[in-house]
Amino acid sequence: MSINIVQEKSSSQMTKKYKDFLTLDDFNSKDIYELLDQAMEMKRQLKNGIPHPYLKGKVLGMIFEKSSTRTRVSFEVGMKQLGGDGIFLNANDLQLGRGESIEDTAKVLSRYVDGIMIRTFDHSTIEQLAHHADVPIINGLTDMHHPTQVLADLLTIYEYKGTLSNLKLCYVGDGHNNMCHSLLEGAACVGMDLSIATPEGYQPAEEIFEKAKQKALGKGSQITYTTSPKEAAEQADIIVTDVWASMGQEEEEKQRLEAFHSYQVNASICEAAKEDFIFLHCLPAHREEEVTSEIIDGPNSVVYDEAENRLHAQKAILKNLL
């Protein structure tokens, strides 16, 4: 698979031949479908009690600078189900948290583990880690991208709709966050229409938006932006939202509640979507803020299937990289 081959190191170091999972922009549609097919097969095997120890003897180092439920548990359980093991590394307990350079951390961990998953703030941290490490690096989340979550979202959509193309996905909420950016890259990759609704001042990063827009055009799909949630949701097959204040933005919470108050995913907005639309949320959700309980607990919500699919999608990533 063609997953972002990192540049060679200097002549005094080994050439890095491994591949990383940093953003969905590094993928083509064939890669995505290959990962999804493998995820569904391993999901079938798990449900039928069929062992699949593809990573027997392998160890994944898991660095967390941000707290986590789904990311930590799904990666740790995934490694065990694949026959390997995962080591939880709290950044505050590492020398990284006491000033050790990313370069030194990457080089040392590469001597111990077969791959590194990191959940961090600044996306440049993971890029530096990938540049200096001699093992595959997986982006468990940064402030700019959340590719493992969106791969699970695509898996969920694929299971419910039987395809990823010729569908319309509507995203309502904060556009300048990791979920929206990875949805942009994922939708553009597979030829899915994406309509984004955010308040003024909360649009996606321009570079990511424009690049995804051009990539989508090449696949016959379109990516659009509006400030109207109802317009974005018109005839949508999928509606997605996320919290209005992500980790690290707590001091902006009051300001964001005011800015997003009319961007709540509720029955009024969902009436504009297709009758059989599905609702996705990466969780945790702030009920009665970005989404009403009526919607997240309603018949169109598939958020728990989506959460489960983190496990299966990540096992496909791990199998391919490790």
Whether 119 and 157 share a structural domain:
no
170 is catalytic: no
User: Is 33 part of any domain?
Assistant: yes
> What mean pLDDT is predicted for residues 87-106?
86
CATH number for the domain that contains residue 260: 3.40.50.1370
Q: Are residues 178 and 276 in the same domain?
A: yes
Q: Are residues 137 and 161 in the same domain?
A: no
* 146 annotated as ligand-binding: yes
Residue 60 lies in a domain: yes
Point out the catalytic residue in the list 20, 25, 26, 119: 119
Are 29 and 124 within one domain? Answer: yes
139 is known to lie in a ligand binding site: no
DSSP alpha helix (H) spans, the chain: 29-47, 70-81, 102-110, 123-132, 147-161, 178-190, 206-217, 229-233, 253-260, 267-270, 293-296, 303-321
Higher pLDDT, 248 or 230: 230
Active-site option among 123, 153, 242, 314: 242
CB 184 within 8 A of CB 195: no
Residue 61 has pLDDT above 80, yes or no: yes
Average pLDDT over residues 122-133: 96
Q: Is 256 annotated as a binding residue?
A: no
Instruction: Catalytic residue, from 146, 176, 281, 312: name it.
Output: 146
Q: Identify the pLDDT of residue 95.
A: 81
Q: Strand 115-119 to strand 137-141: parallel, antiparallel, or no bridges (unpaired)?
A: parallel
* 168 and 262 part of one domain: yes
Residue 7 within any structural domain of the chain: no
Among 85-94, 126-135, 229-238, where is mean pLDDT lowest? 85-94
- Can 214 be counted among the known catalytic residues? no
pLDDT-based confidence at 13, cuts 50/70/90? very low
Q: pLDDT class for 133, splitting at 50, 70, 90?
A: very high
Shared domain for 82 and 204, answered yes or no, is no
- To the question of whether residue 69 is assigned a binding role by annotation, the answer is yes
Whether 11 is in a domain gets the answer: no
Each residue's pLDDT tens digit, 269-313: 999 999 999 999 999 999 999 999 999 999 999 999 999 999 999
Supply the range of the domain harboring residue 264: 147-307
Q: How do beta strands 168-172 and 85-90 pair?
A: unpaired
Is there a single domain that holds both residue 207 and residue 289? yes
282 as an active site residue: the answer is yes
Strand partners, 59: 85
Q: Report helix angle 206-217 to 178-190, nearest 10.
A: 20
pLDDT at 3 over 60: no
| 166 and 130 within one domain | no
pLDDT for the residue numbered 96 = 75
How high is the mean pLDDT of the chain? 93
pLDDT of residue 6: 38
Distance between CA atoms of residues 21 and 72, nearest Å: 16
Q: What percent of the chain has pLDDT over 70?
A: 93
pLDDT of residue 12: 34
The phi and psi torsions of 256 (rounded to 5 degrees) equal -70, -35
Let me know if 104 is a catalytic residue.
Answer: no
Measured CA distances, 158 to 36, 145, 233, 236, 282 (Å): 8, 21, 19, 15, 16
Q: 149: annotated binding-site residue?
A: yes
84 and 109 inside one domain: yes
Number of domains forming the structure of the chain: 2
Q: Does any domain span residue 170? A: yes
Q: Same domain for 178 and 296?
A: yes
Annotation marks residue 310 as catalytic: yes
Out of 176, 181, 310, 312, pick the active-site residue: 310
Question: Does 250 share its domain with 122?
Answer: no
* CA–CA distances in Å: residue 286 to residues 102, 104, 119, 151: 34, 39, 21, 23
- Would the pLDDT of 18 be above 70? no
Answer whether residue 2 is part of any domain.
Answer: no
Angle subtended at Cα 231 by Cα 227 and Cα 237, rounded to the nearest 5 degrees: 120
Query: Is there a binding annotation on residue 241?
Result: no
Is 283 annotated for ligand binding? yes
The active-site residue, picked from 81, 149, 264, 314, is 149
Asked if the bond preceding 284 is cis, omega within 30° of 0, the reply is: yes
Q: Which pLDDT tens digit goes with each residue over 243-264?
A: 998 766 677 888 999 999 999 9
Q: Are residues 70 and 151 in the same domain?
A: no
Determine whether the annotation assigns residue 95 to a binding site. Answer: yes
Catalytic residue of the set 176, 270, 282, 314:
282
pLDDT at res. 4: 46
Could you tell me the pLDDT band of residue 8, with boundaries at 50, 70 and 90? very low
Is 1 a domain residue?
no
Question: Quick check: is 3 in a domain?
Answer: no
